[in-house]
Structure 1
Amino acid sequence: MAEKEMRTLSNGVNMPEIGFGTYLLDNLQARSCVGQALQDGYRLIDGAAFYGNETGVGQGIRDAMQSGVSREDLFVVSKVWKDSMGYELTMASFEKTLRELQLEYLDLYLIHWPSGDHELDRSSWQALIDLYKSGKARAIGVSNFKPEDLMPLFDMESCRW
């Protein structure tokens, strides 16, 4: 891969512009493909609980690390799915993701889709804020949110950190 272009997030964390996505890979494919992608120079790995392959993704990351790739050079992304919305379920989903990936922290943790229930979204967002403040997630955000899905989050006092 060519020299890695980076973008700086609003909190100062640097993120590679190009990453390797793991959607539609089973665990065996994920292990092989993630390991190869990291050996080929990718440093951003994009996954999600919904993909059902975080164990394989974690094994691929471990394989690459055993071959000399440093965890500090990686940018690992995951997402909480709609069936795990709400504070407690989001926290439990995050911990399961860490266990399956065999990591101590994530570089970016996202709400994958809005739930359709603004209170659940707000509660999950609070969980992400707490994960960020604890250092378990270096950055947080949302994906697939329309402006009307974001507005309830902007109304939260804790959104102003």
Structure 2
Amino acid sequence: MTPRALLDHLRTLGFTIEPDGDTLIVSPASRLTDALREAIRQAKPDVLALLWADSLREHFEERAAILECDGGLSRHEAEANARASTGLLARNLGLPWRALREAFGDPDLPDTLTPVDGSPYGLPQWCLSPTGRVIQQGVFRHDQGTS
């Protein structure tokens, strides 16, 4: 069974499965059979990468929508900035390259479980301020909001 098929099977059986660093949280754990525990154990690195990929994809989509709708950026510019932001998030969280590759379906990224160690899409020019406003990087000032 592929890691994606295993995830789908667990969800069909009513389990929730979430990543927590290098740990998988499966609920309700009391319902896991020995066979399911073994399948999860064997597929754990790939399952973690898939779960983190889902999380990264969600981050990307949310950032792109905010930058386009609230920030007034073109769709292309919003997606480019959201992609860069998501790449930095993966690096900062120490997520595996495979998770970022899967999140974007990007065959140019490494297909490894080693942590992201760079900014594969550069740095975003636009971001969200601590107050949730869309701002250009380097322009926000706490005392005045913007310079």
| TM-score normalised according to structure 1 size | 0.32
| TM-score normalised according to structure 2 size | 0.34
Q: Which has the larger radius of gyration?
A: 2
